Structure 1
Amino acid sequence: MKLDMGAAWNEAMALLSANFGVIATVVGLFYFLPQFAIALLAPEMSQTATTDLPPDASPEMMMEALNATFQEAYADSWPYLLLTVIFGYVGALAVLALLRRGGNPTVGEALKAGALGSPSYFATQVLFAIAAGLVIGLPVALLATVAPVAAALLALVLVVALVYAAFKLMLIPAVIGIEGTLNPFAVIARSWRLTKGNTLRIFVFLILLFVVITIITIIVTLVFTLVFAAMGDAVARIGNGFVGALANAATGAIYLTVLAAIHRQLSGGGSEVAETFE
């Protein structure tokens, strides 16, 4: 089956509209609140790094200084980041579980499904990272010892292959959240089969989606940043954190419903819109 991008978008918006209340609740709890908490409790994570460098500093010195600054910020804020990742996993799978066709789970059941599926989701990411390291890191490192130029070319080719594989596995959260599959290897295999023949379409669809969302987010953020800046530093920090967290939550809601719509279409789930779960 070939992915119909227009039909997938229409169904995603229909799913979002029909289930807006429950999706907003879950996304608000697991996307908005953690991001807003980071903006308030660890503002250094969202601030531009500043370093004291001489005017004639070389690009290498600037990169080293920026790297050290960011490492210090992450070292202080890693607990918040870890919680954000965990909450993001649970929230994403819970939203997708809410969109199960014919299952009619309650919000509580969806959250339970999200919590139970998160270790599997994490395991698939670890497996992908290990595979990427073996496929890219090891060959490139070995080749670099004898032919640096060839190693650079090989790295470029393998990165393209890695991006291809990443889009082949885009439906991993949908397989876990909607289908309830928990075996990481079975999840990876299922996503690979579902996306067969549609990888390029999924790539184009999601890239276009994120370009549009990014442009809208930048415009809205700039407008609110100017408004908040005129009200003082404290208001600007809180206001910008609120807008950033809200934009992240909205992006997450749209992305997850699009993912659910793609999964429905490629798995032969039809186009009927799920009703709101209460």
Structure 2
Amino acid sequence: MANRKLDMGAAWTQATALMGANRDTLSAIAGLFFFLPAMASALLVPELSNPPQAAPPPDADPQLVMQAMMDQMTAVYAANWPLLLAVLAVQFLGSMSIFALLTDRGHPTVGEALATGAKSLPSYLAAQFATVIGVSLAIGIPLGVLSAFGGPAVGVLAALIALILIVYVMVKLSLIGPVIAIEGLRNPLAAMGRSWQLTKGNSLRIFLFILLLLLVIVVIFGLVSGVMTLILSAIGGSVATIGGAVIDALVSALTAVIFLTVTVTIHRQLAGPSPERVADVFE
């Protein structure tokens, strides 16, 4: 049987309807699992959102300047990895809980969604770990060897190819979360295979949809954040620091909710209605 084709307009319409219908519960979960952790990391590790930038000498080598910036950020991550890992784990739990909340298989309460999210989290983490290992072995190592022995030009080409392949794999495995949390498929490898099968014939549509959505969000949130940052900078002091953290955390939480809800609607279209939903229609 041929796979369903993604209707991007319908997916966005369904996503906005879902967000509107579940506004209160989504706000509660997003506040707990995305806003508060993001705000905590912004206040405790401000270098992540506002890295210190010393003006390089006029005759400085751009490559060395870029390398120095990368080394600086690497040092920040190395020094704060326990906090950042905890924030990531909390956000993963929030993601799985939102997937469970927005299922069309019944009408779970917030507590039931959180319980499902917690049960789904180990499978989701295992699938993500398997993805990283698989991509590293299948893509990273061969292209790394080719880059090492082929010279600078081959290295740039290899990096471009690697980027394209990584994006392709990310699109193909983008439905792992809903497959685990909504369909209840807890085997990580089976969930990866299910996501790969659901996205068959729709990879380009999904990529374009997410890319367009990302561009719109970056423009809108960037403008709002920029204006608010200018206002807070004029005030200065602790108000500016806390206000900037609030804005960054709010943007992070809103972005997460939008993308997670869109992922649910993409899954609904490609997987079709659940048996429970079909039964509800004919009751």
User: What TM-score do you get using the length of structure 2 for normalisation?
Assistant: 0.90
| Counterpart AA for 2:249 | A
Match of 1:201 among 196, 205, 209: 205
1:161 aligns with 2:161: no
Shift of 1:56: 2.6
> Whole-Å Cα distance in 2 between the matches of residues 15 and 246 of structure 1?
20
> Whole-Å Cα distance in 2 between the matches of residues 156 and 218 of structure 1?
27
| Counterpart AA for 1:215 | V
- Residues 175-211 of structure 1, C-alpha deviation per residue, up to 9 Å, x if partnerless? 1121121111011011011111111111111111110
- Residues 209-267 of structure 1, C-alpha deviation per residue, up to 9 Å, x if partnerless? 11001100110001101111121131111101101101111111111111111111111
> Whole-Å Cα distance in 1 between the matches of residues 69 and 258 of structure 2?
33
Greater alpha carbon shift after TM alignment, 146-155 vs 168-177: 146-155
Q: Report the counterpart of residue 142 of structure 1 in structure 2.
A: 145
The answer as to whether partners of 2:147 and 2:158 remain within 8 angstroms in 1 is no
1:175 aligns with 2:179: yes
1:221 aligns with 2:225: yes
In structure 2, the CA distance between the partners of 1:9 and 1:71, relative to structure 1 (3 Å rule), is same
Shift of 1:52: 6.9
Aligned-partner SS, 2:235: coil
The answer as to whether partners of 2:11 and 2:269 remain within 8 angstroms in 1 is yes
Q: Report the counterpart of residue 276 of structure 1 in structure 2.
A: none
1:71 aligns with 2:59: no
Please tell me the root mean square deviation across aligned C-alpha atoms, in Å. Answer: 1.8
In structure 2, the CA distance between the partners of 1:51 and 1:69, relative to structure 1 (3 Å rule), is farther
**Aligned counterparts, 1:1-278, within 5 A:** 1-51=4-54, 53-148=56-151, 149-150=153-154, 152-269=156-273
| Counterpart AA for 2:94 | G
Greater alpha carbon shift after TM alignment, 151-160 vs 22-31: 151-160
Displaced runs of 4+ in structure 1, greater than 6 A?
A: none
Q: How many residues are treated as equivalent by the alignment? A: 271
> Whole-Å Cα distance in 2 between the matches of residues 14 and 146 of structure 1?
53
Greater alpha carbon shift after TM alignment, 10-19 vs 159-168: 159-168
> Whole-Å Cα distance in 2 between the matches of residues 40 and 147 of structure 1?
44
Shift of 1:125: 1.5
Aligned-partner SS, 1:230: helix
Percent of residue pairs bearing the same amino acid type: 45
